[in-house]
Amino acid sequence: MQLGRYRFDRMELAGSLGDLGTLLPLAVGMIMVNGLDPMGLFFAVGLYYIIAGHYYGVPVAVQPMKSIGGYAVATGVGTGSVSAACLIMGLGMLAVGRWNLAEALRRHIPQAVIRGVQASTGVLLATQGVRFMLGTHSLQQQLSEPFLGLGGLGPVPWSLILGLAFLTCALLLLNNPRFPAALVVVGSGLLLGLVFSDATFSFGLHLPRLLPLGLPSLADFAYALPVLVMPQLPMTLGNAVIANADLSHTYFPESSSRVTPRSLCYSMGAACTGAFLLGGMPMCHGAGGLAAHYRFGARTCGSNLIIGAVFVLFSVMLGAGMLDAVRLLPLAVLGTLLLLAGLELCLTVRDVLDRSGLFVVFCMLTLTLTTNLAVSFVAGTALALLMARGRITL
């Protein structure tokens, strides 16, 4: 069905599911470890998907801010610190958009650096997906499929058995419009979850609460700024703003005029501020998420409305039970989606043909794997500018 710039069909539905592998693990982790509000978090995600898709007119990803989320889950910081980081990032991105700082930054960032960010993000996503399939992710400390109560078949983890089956299915159906890969994989995974999970659901009407986590203290802000926000900022500017805008124009050259660094900063700032009010997590538009949606079939903003409506509807119907609902999806399914989305994003480097550009890309990839994406972005930019000025030659 086509309604103007919106299309609603099997491919859009499949594409809308493509980024669940990035979204759900960190969201679940921040609810379980950091105490974020399940209803508020997923309601904010759904609302952000719908508003962003309607405004931009093309598929747009909604993801957790990975540096903040990953560090928060790894260290178990309290809700106050996460909430403070959410508000700081929200106001900070609004300020960056107001003074158009991201656009000025983009004009001075070489193309090789953008490709380096995209390739590095792609490798991170792919390796995370392999970890889910091998059963070695932090969520899989005791069982390979902990939310379904599945360990292993002898020495072989069930996540690997399922992951290989889902991956084979996805590869065979990757370009099949009749049976879209993501739709078949996610649908099969949910059926499997319903069979093995003992979760029960109570449907009702649950409305989001304002400031369910309360207000952060001054100590929370003092901790969040240097520890959570500062490492996230260059990653957000590099991946979610500059690299994402570039990728959107690559995929949708005729319809992505609204996807600019400035507008992305505004929308991320508004989303983080809204998530702070609803007890959710810091959110961004990741280039990897866009690659995932595109890889699995999203071509219009109809995909945003589909997945956004799903999150909003089930959040309102299930409330805190939304956490149990998303845990029906096997981690092997998330791993399959992550692996294929990451590889899709890595393919953006195919237009980097010169020796110096490839050197920058692989230097950034090495730094990302050994430090983090923020360090890689800063160092890669400096290296590319020095090479452009002839200070470093290969």
Rounded CA gap, 382 and 231, in Å? 17
Contact status, residue 303 vs residue 12, Cβ threshold 8 Å:
yes
pLDDT at position 100 over 70? yes
> Looking at residue 128, what is its pLDDT?
87
Question: What is the average pLDDT across 111-117?
Answer: 88
Mean pLDDT for the chain overall:
91
pLDDT at position 172 over 80? yes
> Looking at residue 4, what is its pLDDT?
57
With residue 283 as reference, give the H or E element that holds it: strand 283-284
From residue 238, give the alpha-carbon distance in Å to each of 2, 20, 203, 256, 372: 34, 22, 41, 19, 12
SS (H, E, C) 50-101: HHHHHHHCCCCCCEECHHHHHHHHHHCCCHHHHHHHHHHHHHHHHHHHHCCH
pLDDT at position 5 over 80? no
| Tokens encoding 84 | 């403070």
Q: Give the whole-number percent of the chain exceeding pLDDT 70.
A: 99
Which tens digits make up the pLDDT trace of 10-62? 999 999 999 998 899 889 888 988 899 999 999 999 999 999 999 999 999 99
In 3-state terms, what secondary structure has residue 34?
Answer: coil
> Looking at residue 131, what is its pLDDT?
92
Contact status, residue 235 vs residue 120, Cβ threshold 8 Å:
no
Of 180, 73, 130, 91, the residue nearest 332 (C-alpha): 130
Phi, psi of 152 (to 5 degrees): -150, 165
> Looking at residue 234, what is its pLDDT?
83
Rounded CA gap, 18 and 291, in Å? 9
pLDDT at position 104 over 90? no
In 3-state terms, what secondary structure has residue 157?
Answer: strand
| Tokens encoding 379 | 């160092």
> Looking at residue 121, what is its pLDDT?
85
Rounded CA gap, 109 and 261, in Å? 12
Rounded CA gap, 78 and 55, in Å? 34
pLDDT at position 3 over 80? no
Which tens digits make up the pLDDT trace of 223-275? 999 888 887 888 899 889 999 999 999 999 999 999 999 999 999 999 999 99
Rounded CA gap, 367 and 71, in Å? 18
> Looking at residue 2, what is its pLDDT?
54
> Looking at residue 54, what is its pLDDT?
94
Q: Rounded to two decimals, what is the model's pTM?
A: 0.86
SS (H, E, C) 166-226: HHHHHHHCCCCCCCCHHHHHHHHHHHHHHHHCCCCCCCCCCCCCCCCCCCCCHHHHHHHHH
CA dihedral 146, 152, 155, 156 (to 10 degrees): -100
**Amino acid, single-letter form, for residue 76:** G
Which tens digits make up the pLDDT trace of 268-316? 999 999 999 999 999 999 898 999 999 999 999 999 999 999 999 999 9
Rounded CA gap, 299 and 108, in Å? 30
**Amino acid, single-letter form, for residue 284:** C
Per-residue pLDDT band at 1 (split at 50, 70, 90): low
**Residues whose CB is less than 8 angstroms from the CB of residue 85 and which lie 6 or more positions away in sequence, other chains included:** 68, 72, 224, 225, 228, 229, 232, 282
Rounded CA gap, 293 and 19, in Å? 6
Q: Of 66-75, 256-265, 314-323, which gets the smallest average pLDDT?
A: 66-75
In 3-state terms, what secondary structure has residue 44?
Answer: helix
**Residues whose CB is less than 8 angstroms from the CB of residue 147 and which lie 6 or more positions away in sequence, other chains included:** 193, 197, 327, 328, 331
Contact status, residue 65 vs residue 338, Cβ threshold 8 Å:
no
CB atoms under 10 Å from CB of 215, counted, come to 11
Which tens digits make up the pLDDT trace of 199-220? 888 889 999 999 999 999 999 9
**Amino acid, single-letter form, for residue 174:** L
Q: Across 5-9, 19-23, 37-41, 368-372, which has the greatest mean pLDDT? A: 37-41
Question: What is the average pLDDT across 320-347?
Answer: 90
- DSSP letter for 137, please: S
Q: How many residues does the chain have?
A: 394
